[in-house]
Amino acid sequence: MSASEINQSASTGANTDDDTNDDSLSSIPVGDQIRDLRKAQNLTITDLAEKLGRSVGYISQIERNISPVAIDRLKEIAEAMGVQISWFFQGRTEGPEEERDMIVRRGNRRHLTFTGSGLREELLSPNLSGDFEMIMTTYEPQATTGEELYARPCQEAALVIEGRLQVWIGERTFILEEGDTMTFNGLEPHSSANPDDTPARVVWVMSPPTY
């Protein structure tokens, strides 16, 4: 199965659980998704470990959802397997025909949970084919996108809608309060975290869509 076929299969998959709030959305653990994608590509754990320059034990723990998977690590794995990181978004894509590609109802958001990291992301855009994408990230207390800074070829903007957000861009550090916004070049190595003991929610906009 090619990467494009796998992407198409993921984007058309439906989650039929009823939803009354964000937390009721069910999601497939990211470790399970990595394992399924690896098998679909006829790769062994050893093959994937060699592609990543990691140990077999490291891959095994990720696939069994034992080791946490931060954004930087998932990006590394996605690149090694020839897919966009957005492949790992799960959720429904159905809706009235006149709304498709325009409206995302709260209960139909595609979502992605990072194993053990305290991060949950919901795709607010109807697809990833436009000029920009919107994602809402929920950071559990003290959650972080990862220890290492990462970069992506796009312009990024953030709006803190709940709690506070700490952002590292290169050697600079910023604290954003609720209602604050920030715009920066995604090519600058960066990362973010929730510095508090209460959850934080942030809406991210990226142009072009480059998750």
* Cα separation values, 115 from 26, 30, 45, 73, 186, Å: 14, 6, 19, 11, 24
- pTM for the model stands at 0.68
- C-beta separation of 198 from 163 below 8 A: yes
* Cα separation values, 129 from 12, 108, 167, 208, Å: 15, 18, 27, 9
pLDDT digit string, tens, across residues 70-123: 888 888 999 898 887 877 876 655 678 788 778 989 988 888 777 778 999 898
Query: 80 vs 9, which has greater pLDDT?
Result: 80
Residue 25 — pLDDT band, cuts 50, 70, 90? Answer: very low
Instruction: For residues 145 and 193, give the distance between their C-alpha atoms in angstroms, rounded to a whole number.
Output: 6
- The answer, yes or no, to whether residue 22 has pLDDT greater than 70, is no
Give the lowest-confidence range in 37-41, 86-90, 123-127, 142-146: 86-90
The verdict on whether omega for the bond into residue 68 sits within 30 degrees of 0, i.e. cis, is no
- What is the arithmetic mean of pLDDT over 25-34? 72
- The answer, yes or no, to whether residue 207 has pLDDT greater than 80, is yes
pLDDT given for residue 91 in this prediction = 60
- Dihedral through CA 202, CA 203, CA 208, CA 210, nearest 10? 50
pLDDT given for residue 166 in this prediction = 98
Q: Rounded to 5, what percent of the chain is helix, strand, coil?
A: 25, 25, 45
Instruction: For residues 200 and 155, give the distance between their C-alpha atoms in angstroms, rounded to a whole number.
Output: 22
Q: What is the mean pLDDT of the chain?
A: 83
Highest-confidence range of 7-16, 49-58, 77-86, 106-115, by mean pLDDT? Answer: 49-58
pLDDT given for residue 111 in this prediction = 81
Q: To the nearest whole percent, how much of the chain has pLDDT over 70?
A: 83
Q: To the nearest whole percent, how much of the chain has pLDDT over 90?
A: 46
Q: Which parts of the chain are beta strand (E)?
A: 110-114, 119-123, 133-139, 155-162, 165-169, 172-176, 181-185, 190-193, 200-207
Highest-confidence range of 106-110, 124-128, 185-189, by mean pLDDT? Answer: 185-189
Residue 165 three-state SS? strand
**Helices of type H across the chain:** 3-12, 30-40, 45-52, 56-63, 71-80
* Structural domains of the chain, ranges and CATH numbers in brackets: 3-88 (1.10.260.40), 130-207 (2.60.120.10)
| Half-sphere exposure for 58 (CA within 13 Å, toward CB) | 14
The dihedral sign for the CA sequence 55, 60, 63, 65: negative
